[in-house]
Amino acid sequence: MIFNDFHFAFLFLPVVCAFFFLPVLSQHRHWTLLISSFVFYGASGMQHLLCLLIGIAWVYVWTRGTNIVGNRRVLVVAIAIPLSLLFYFKYLGFFLNSVSGWSGSADVKFDLFDDILLPAGISFFTFQMIGFAIDRYRGQHINVPNFSQFALYISFFPQLVAGPIVRFSQVSEAIAQLVQYRLRTEDASAAIAYITLGLAAKVLLADTLSNLISPMAAAPGDVTKTDAFYIIFGYSFQIYFDFYGYSLIAIGLGRLFGFHLPVNFNRPYSALNPQDFWRRWHMTLSYWLRDYLYVPLGGNRRYMRNILIIFALCGLWHGAGWNFVIWGVYHAALVAGYRTLHQGWDRMPNLIQIACNFLFVSVGWLFFLFDFIQFQSFIGALLNNNGSIVGTTTPEHWGILAISAVICFAVRFDKIISATEPARQTTVLRPLAFAGLFLLTLLFFDRSQDFIYFRF
């Protein structure tokens, strides 16, 4: 089930809200959300739901007692099953095919594992399970939840599939106070704003760009230079509005039920340098990698080594393929290069810094769009003069790209959302504008696609 779907918007969500806010069921709100989350995830397949349930039950059993505190063996056991499930579903085929290639048996391909359907969002909820277990191991001040509370923390449907990656301490109070929760006007207004803007970013911008880019990207070796540049920047905006749109919807849905989920984006394409970019893009993943991997590895004491390890793993987390690993190493090189040359970089005008950083990041996304063979073909088309090939970009293409750029760099979604607070509503213009935007988005629901990060 996806947010940009009529069944979710007009069946699933209204039913969940009806049961959640029904006074006679207020004592069972956590069960309402928990069962709804299982239904939401189970719609993608019962095998995937079983995978989620096994991980939840296993981690809860091994982390509920005090024997995990400071006990590395118990920690390893606690995270073993979630990691094993992640490895089986996501990485086993990649690992076996890579080993067969290294051993000289490149003609052997394990197609059986390529046919395994990856459970949506498994990388996200696995990281939440691991993070919780590590926090318990470290003895941090976590009030151990009961099973249903812990299960809700892991499976809460707004952020289950594509984040943000949440720490238990960020939602424990909301879970504990579900019975007393009352939806305030400001929360309802913010929720509507987040959901509307998120859906518009996904459906009107990301999916429109996808429909324009896909025909060109299908034959990466047969594009003109103009088409190639369009693919680079068009896909960069597509993945931005796709993932940003999901994160906005997740935050809005959370606000409906009393959850203040963390912000995942802070205008990342306006970053001045690669280091600044990773403080702004997918912020909850960056914090997770910092706290649970980078710092334990020694942090800044072994900076170059640790940056390479973290970003290589970050790339592998995004996808089971060497193109994703190369993407991670590429960003490690950008961050390490900036650290080495920052004095010269920082002397450039801010506009030049932003433009250079945006270009580097956009080129890196090509590793998400193409495999190695396609990437090689694309670079060849970009560098060579394909005079016999007719370009496919039209004024419509460039118009959508220009609109995306203006919205990305000039529009502050956080300012728009804060302006929807009831205290600032002096006219009906803003509510009417949001209603119009929502209706416009609905018109294009039928051509909308899955979120890109569902693959991860």
Known catalytic residues?
318
d(CA 426, CA 446): 35
For every residue of 328-342, DSSP letters joined together read: HHHHHHHHHHHHHHH
DSSP H stretches of helix in 201-321: 207-217, 225-256, 274-277, 283-289, 303-318
Q: How far is CA 111 from CA 40, 67, 115, 118, 371, in A?
A: 29, 42, 6, 14, 17
Helix axes 122-137, 72-86, angle to 10 degrees: 180
DSSP label at residue 292? I
d(CA 157, CA 42): 11
d(CA 256, CA 190): 9
> What is the distance, to the nearest Å, from the Cα of residue 223 to the centroid of all Cα atoms in its chain?
30
> Counting beta carbons within 10 angstroms of the beta carbon of residue 336, is it exposed (0 to 12), middle (13 to 18) or buried (19 or more)?
middle
Q: Side chain identity at 387, as an amino acid letter? A: G
Contacts with 98 (C-beta within 8 Å, 6 or more apart), sequence order: 322
Contacts with 379 (C-beta within 8 Å, 6 or more apart), sequence order: none
d(CA 67, CA 247): 36
Closest CA to 250 of 297, 286, 199, 299: 199
Q: 337, 326 in Cβ contact below 8 A? A: no
d(CA 433, CA 258): 25
Q: Which two tokens stand for residue 84?
A: 């094993």
Q: Which two tokens stand for residue 338?
A: 């900036």
- The length of the chain in residues reads 456
Coarse DSSP helix, strand, coil percentages of the chain, rounded to the nearest 5 percent:
75, 0, 25
